[in-house]
Amino acid sequence: MAVVQAFSETTRVRAALNLFGVLALGGLLAGYLDQPTPALQSYLYAWILFLVLTLGLLGLTLLAHVLKAQWTRPLLRIFEAGGGAPSLALMLVLFVPILLQLPRLYIWADPEVVKQDHILHLKQLYLNVPFFLGRLTFFFAVWMLLAALLRRSSLRQDRTGDPAERDYRTNLASGGLAAFCVLVTFAVTDWVMSLEPHWFSSVYGIWFLTQMAVTGLAFATAVLLLQANKRPYAEEVTPKLLKDLGTLMFAFSMFWAYITLSQYLIIYSANLPEFVPYYLHRSQHGWQALMWVVAALQFLLPFFVLLSPAAKRNARIVLGMVLVILAARVVDTFWIVMPALRHEGFELRWTDPVAVAAVAALWFSVFLGQLRKGALVPSYLPSKGADSHASH
Amino acid sequence: MSHAIEVTQGPKVYGYIAEFEEPEQLVEAARKTAEAGYRDFDAYSPFPIHGLAEAMRFKDARVPWIIFVCGIIGAAVGYGLQYYVTVFDYPMNVGGRPNHSWVQYVPITFECGVLFAALGAVVGMFGLNGLPRPYHPVFEAKNFERASDDRFFLVIEASDGKFDPEGTRRFLEGLGPVEVNLVEAEEV
Amino acid sequence: MAETLTKPHDEEPLIEGNQTYASLTETVAGVVQRQKEHPKSWFVAFVLGFGLVNVLLLSITYLVYMGIGIWGNNQPVAWSFDIINFVWWIGIGHAGTLISAILLLMRQEWRTSINRFAEAMTIFAVMCAGMYPLLHTGRPWVAYWLLPYPNILAMWPQPRSPLVWDVFAVSTYMTVSILFWYTGLVPDLATLRDRVKNRFARVLAGMGSLGWRGSAKHWMRYEQAYIILAGLSTPLVLSVHTIVSFDFAVSLLPGWQATIFPPYFVAGAVYAGFAMVLTFMIPMRRWYRIEHLVTMNHIDWMAKIMLTTGLIVFYGYIVEVFYAWYSANPYEQFMMWNRWKGPYAPAYWLLIVCNGVIPQLLWSKKNRRNLSLVFGISLVVSLGMWLERFIIIPVSLHRDFLPSSWGMYYPTIWDFAMFFGTIGFFVMMMFLFVRFIPMISIFEVRELWSRIRPKQPERREVGA
């Protein structure tokens, strides 16, 4: 039986993606020349959307090396390809246009605004452009180093079969995961929370970490299941794996709902003027519709569908569910980012989809290129115990 | 037991019991018994054995449904109680929040759902199992006290249409047990 | 075995030695059957616990007679030991549910030897916790007023209040924990019913076992219900400590009003809970010679979970400090400054050492397998988690928004009597439990053994 190899023909696809990405960026540039600030807002949204995905995949790479679980095996290379150093480098490069126009998006970078705002004046020690740049460089440097070391070791074990590589990765990833979580907290504070610089929420880092976990797992599962009838995934996608992935998707979604709701409940109940505007703004002027869409797609639907063990063993249902969850992520990120910038109420501009398409095309081009560099499923098993079992 | 049959001379029969040493043997025996067309039979083991129920062709998915329905009812009762209290029976302005402030009803709704579901799980499971039931004829079978320790048993009950005292006994002996014994029915 | 969701054991077996089903039954049930052979240390621990229970009874009696004025809390510090200890105990209970439920769902087989023990711990810890709010009402005999029921005053509890959520959460948690524990116990009580010679014990075990006879049909429904109970308990644990954290987080007080509280409290609870399981398990496995069931692998895994949850708690401390500074809010900044430099500063720095610094020793595998070190770290973590609640509760309260209402809090002898009394109650109940109830789930150990035992084809051939 001739089973097609997954991702065997990517060269032309990548070229097309690159071309499309550059064209879309050109369209966005046209939008920028017409109305700079709205176009930049669209671009920032697209950047954050893919940042969450990239970091989610990096976090799951780290988690996979710590847990050494069976279900990570067919997903590992997808995690590595999307959360690797090249994807991070792309995200870093794509941040340059935002850096060039920082005050248009981040009001704390505008000296005129800071002069008239006592709180921002006090925050200048942290929220100032040079320090912001330094932190940005540091975050990306650490993430890229972690991703590169793990990826190299993982590919090396494919060639040499040396099991010592596994222990090395586990040790590196244990400390790396702790560092990753702390750095993500500070990073999203810088890049997302500081869009509304008066507001803060101490669960913000964990909230974004759960968003990243949900996005990364849903994305990797979608890639796997869309190629499920091709080599080498065909042998890997068993009802057992599907059930594990369905259960994890369920658990991650519920944890996301838990963090999201408890942050809302705490701020709602305290009703303090420093905190409550965040939700007041996001629950009226049309933004509330997005909130309900996200609640339905990210919580209600996965809850009732993935509760059933039979549904979790059905590849089509699991695939449908992760696609729904990815759609929810697109809406949710819009709901988190855009109300901070568009104060007149809900508004969708033509530059929004163009920006997303541009970043997506370039991102997928890097992703596909990375997937090709190495076996799609590692030749070794995630843990020693599994090795000895397999040899029986 | 009402479905015990009369055997000429001797006690009323509940069924025949075969004793095994290993769980794998019991699964195999249960599979063969089901294949032979027996329906009223049961296996007894000191721990749950994976694949045994499938081997017996025994299916029952009522427990998860009972739990699900109980959980939904519990959540509805929890939410309904709060809605009734804060909107109808005792409305009170708490810091300008609406009477129906759904966000703050989530914790109690959730707890009530879990409480009802858990009660449904335990009551439903033991209820469907017909427990508590302090006495059962198999307790009188030889060596049956080891069913809660290290032995595995298969009982073909006399109520089965295919049951025939000699044939069933020979059938069980053919499954490779340690021994086969008669189980007497409860005196009514 | 390779099919586990996460892989717990790389090298060593979870049950050591050459065992049979009967020998496993004998090891665990034997502890209950041979009542005359209990180690001397059992009596020492029991008497210690029983002595402290008397202190508890005395302090409750005096409390009911005099009123809660005998405690040190008064305005502005209206909450103190009562709530600290409530939160501390509830948290300790969470490890039990985590081990029995979450690890079951994740198919972590190493839980089998410790889940019964941990679940018992949950129940006794929740009992200890429940005493505090009930007694703090001052009139525990009308505690049923906390429940919503139609009454002649036409009044209802306020469902917007986190304290009412607490009533629902803790009572649900207690009920579900008992159901879960008892359901797990039924097949083991059947084992005891079939083994014990003493007629009285036999009848008791027989009634408790509900006539369980190990039918395959029963086992099937049993496993369905048990796994779903585990699935229900997992979010329940999260919700209970989340609601406990809401007691503080939905208020207006700096140091309490923090959105990080729910996950941070849950992690802290698990952290303290695993510390308590280790504190009991390390001596117990030696006294009852169950080292082949509670192996070094188990200790290693519990230490790893303790390290992980400890890191989450430490993350919480970092985040609290950072956002207090980032907020540029004078009240938030003063709250943190007061923790660092205020009158209770030594408690804060001790907390950082206990919860943040010392547990980092667990990164090393060698240290995780050093029993006395792990035991010591567990005690340090228990102290640290108690201090954390001390820092959150009285230290936030004693410096109000208005300097004119500032005050100090000093615990009285009755605060300590009550606290050590509940520790005594917990110790006494745990030791009664290990003596009279199988402390390890026998049927689950047998089930695990049936899958991991070395296959012996030659012996089977001889048998056949």
Q: Where are the domains of chain B?
A: 13-60+136-184, 62-128
Domain C2-140+157-454, CATH homologous superfamily name and number: Formate dehydrogenase/DMSO reductase domain (1.20.1630.10)
Residues of B in contact with C233 (CB under 8 A): 118
- Is C207's CB within 8 Å of B63's CB? no
- Is C20's CB within 8 Å of B150's CB? yes
| Residue of chain C with shortest Cα separation from B108 | C165
Work out whether strand B152-157 and strand B41-44 pair parallel, antiparallel, or are unpaired: antiparallel
The answer to whether C264 touches C314, Cβ cutoff 8 Å, is no
- Is C216's CB within 8 Å of B42's CB? yes
SS3 C39: coil
The model's pTM is 0.90
Rounded Cα distance between C247 and C103, Å, is 28
**Would you tell me how many other CB atoms lie within 10 Å of the CB of residue C427?**
20
SS3 B153: strand
- Is B95's CB within 8 Å of A268's CB? no
% of residues, chain B, pLDDT over 90: 25
| Residue of chain B with shortest Cα separation from A304 | B68
Rounded Cα distance between C111 and C301, Å, is 10
User: What count of Cα atoms within 13 Å lies in the side-chain half-sphere of residue A85?
Assistant: 11
- Indicate the DSSP class of residue B2: T
pLDDT digits (tens, 9 = 90+) for A244-274: 899 899 999 999 999 999 999 999 988 888 8
Domain boundaries, chain C: 2-140+157-454
Query: Which of B103, B106, B110, B114 should one mutate to test binding to chain A, selecting the residue with the greatest count of A CBs within 10 A?
Result: B103
The candidate with the shortest Cα–Cα distance to A240, out of A62, A71, A107, is: A71
pLDDT in tens, chain C (464 residues): 333 334 444 456 677 767 777 777 777 777 777 777 778 888 888 999 999 999 999 999 999 999 888 998 888 888 888 899 999 999 988 888 888 887 777 777 777 778 888 889 999 999 999 999 999 988 889 888 888 888 888 888 888 889 999 999 999 999 999 998 999 899 988 888 888 888 888 888 888 888 888 888 899 999 889 888 888 888 999 999 999 999 999 888 888 889 999 999 999 999 999 999 899 889 888 887 778 778 888 888 889 989 999 999 999 999 999 999 998 888 889 999 999 999 999 999 999 999 999 999 999 888 999 999 999 999 999 999 999 999 999 998 998 888 888 989 999 999 999 999 999 999 999 989 888 888 888 888 888 887 777 665 444 433 33
Residues of C in contact with A299 (CB under 8 A): none
The answer to whether A52 touches A215, Cβ cutoff 8 Å, is yes
Residues in chain A, how many?
392
The stretch B166-179 carries a mean pLDDT of 82
Query: Angle, to 10 degrees, between the axis of helix C261-287 and the axis of helix C40-66?
Result: 140
Give the best-scoring range by mean pLDDT among A140-154, B174-188, C39-53. A140-154
Query: Which of A265, A276, A300 should one mutate to test binding to chain B, selecting the residue with the greatest count of B CBs within 10 A?
Result: A265
pLDDT of B8 > 70? The answer is no
Instruction: Give the closest-approach CA distance of B116 to chain A in angstroms.
Output: 17
Q: What does R_g of chain C's alpha carbons equal in angstroms?
A: 24
The stretch A72-80 carries a mean pLDDT of 90
pLDDT digits (tens, 9 = 90+) for B101-125: 899 999 999 999 999 999 999 999 9
The answer to whether C104 touches C119, Cβ cutoff 8 Å, is no
The answer to whether A375 touches A77, Cβ cutoff 8 Å, is yes
The stretch B5-32 carries a mean pLDDT of 77
pLDDT of A386 > 70? The answer is no
Instruction: Give the closest-approach CA distance of C121 to chain A in angstroms.
Output: 26
pLDDT of B91 > 50? The answer is yes
Residues of C in contact with B118 (CB under 8 A): 175-176, 179-180, 229, 232-233
| Residue of chain A with shortest Cα separation from B64 | A308
| Residue of chain B with shortest Cα separation from C29 | B149
pLDDT value for C454: 67
Residues of B in contact with A307 (CB under 8 A): 68
% of residues, chain B, pLDDT over 70: 93
pLDDT value for C4: 37
- Is A265's CB within 8 Å of B104's CB? yes
For residues B182 and C385, the model is more confident at: C385
Residue located via tokens 């980012």: A337
Chains that touch B (3 or more CB pairs under 8 A): A, C
Instruction: Give the closest-approach CA distance of C350 to chain A in angstroms.
Output: 23
Query: Angle, to 10 degrees, between the axis of helix C330-341 and the axis of helix C296-326?
Result: 130
Angle at B98 between CA B97 and CA B103, to 5 degrees: 80
For residues C327 and B169, the model is more confident at: C327
Phi, psi of A272 (to 5 degrees): -85, 145
The candidate with the shortest Cα–Cα distance to A314, out of A238, A233, A391, is: A238
SS3 B43: strand
Q: How big is the B-C interface in CB pairs under 8 Å?
A: 199
Phi, psi of B16 (to 5 degrees): -115, 140
- Is C259's CB within 8 Å of A266's CB? yes
Residues in chain B, how many?
188
Rounded Cα distance between C237 and A261, Å, is 16
User: Mean pLDDT lowest for which of A34-48, A198-212, A219-233, B165-179?
Assistant: B165-179
| C7 closest CB neighbour out of A119, A122, A382 | A382
Three-state SS string across chain C, please? CCCCCCCCCCCCCCCCCCCCHHHHHHHHHHHHHCHHHCCHHHHHHHHHHHHHHHHHHHHHHHHHHHCHHHCCCECCECCCHHHHHHHHHHHHHHHHHHHHHHHHHCCCHHHHHCHHHHHHHHHHHHHHHHHHHHHHCCCHHHHHHHCCCCCCCCCCCCCCCHHHHHHHHHHHHHHHHHHHHHHHHHHHHHHHHHHCCCHHHHHHHHHHCCCCCCEHHHHHHHHHHHHHHHHHHHHHHHHHHHHHHHHHHCCCCCCCCCCCHHHHHHHHHHHHHHHHHHHHHHHHHHHCCCCCCCCHHHHHHHHHHHHHHHHHHHHHHHHHHHHHHHCCCHHHHHHHHHHHHCCCHHHHHHHHHHHHHHHHHHHCHHHHCCHHHHHHHHHHHHHHHHHHHHHHCHHHHCCCCCHHHCCCCCCCHHHHHHHHHHHHHHHHHHHHHHHHCCCCCHHHHHHHHHHHCCCCHHHHHHHC
- Is C169's CB within 8 Å of B56's CB? no
Torsion of CA B157, C21, B140, C211, to 10 degrees: -90
The answer to whether A350 touches A32, Cβ cutoff 8 Å, is no
Residues of B in contact with A265 (CB under 8 A): 103-104, 106
Rounded Cα distance between A339 and B31, Å, is 63
Domain boundaries, chain A: 10-371
Sign of CA dihedral A205, A208, A214, A219: negative
Rounded Cα distance between C288 and C284, Å, is 6
Rounded Cα distance between A196 and A106, Å, is 8
Under 8 Å CB-to-CB from B62, ≥6 apart: which residues? Answer: B124, B128
Residues of A in contact with B106 (CB under 8 A): 261, 265
pLDDT value for B54: 85
- Is B47's CB within 8 Å of C154's CB? no
CA distances from C430 to C46, C113, C293 (A): 9, 16, 19
**Would you tell me how many other CB atoms lie within 10 Å of the CB of residue B23?**
23
Chains that touch A (3 or more CB pairs under 8 A): B, C
The answer to whether C276 touches C114, Cβ cutoff 8 Å, is no
pLDDT digits (tens, 9 = 90+) for B44-67: 988 888 888 888 888 888 999 999
**Would you tell me how many other CB atoms lie within 10 Å of the CB of residue C257?**
24
> Which H or E run includes B152?
strand B152-157
- Indicate the DSSP class of residue B133: -
- Is A265's CB within 8 Å of B95's CB? no
- Indicate the DSSP class of residue C289: T
The answer, for B104 touching chain A at a CB cutoff of 8 Å, is yes
The answer to whether C352 touches A234, Cβ cutoff 8 Å, is no
Rounded Cα distance between C53 and C35, Å, is 23
pLDDT value for C146: 87
| A178 closest CB neighbour out of C246, C311, C319 | C311
Rounded Cα distance between C121 and B140, Å, is 37
Interface residues on A facing B, Cβ-Cβ cutoff 8 A: 261, 264-265, 268-269, 271, 307
- Indicate the DSSP class of residue C359: G
pLDDT grade for A3, boundaries at 50, 70 and 90: low
pLDDT of A70 > 90? The answer is no
pLDDT value for C222: 92
The candidate with the shortest Cα–Cα distance to B100, out of B115, B85, B118, B121, is: B85
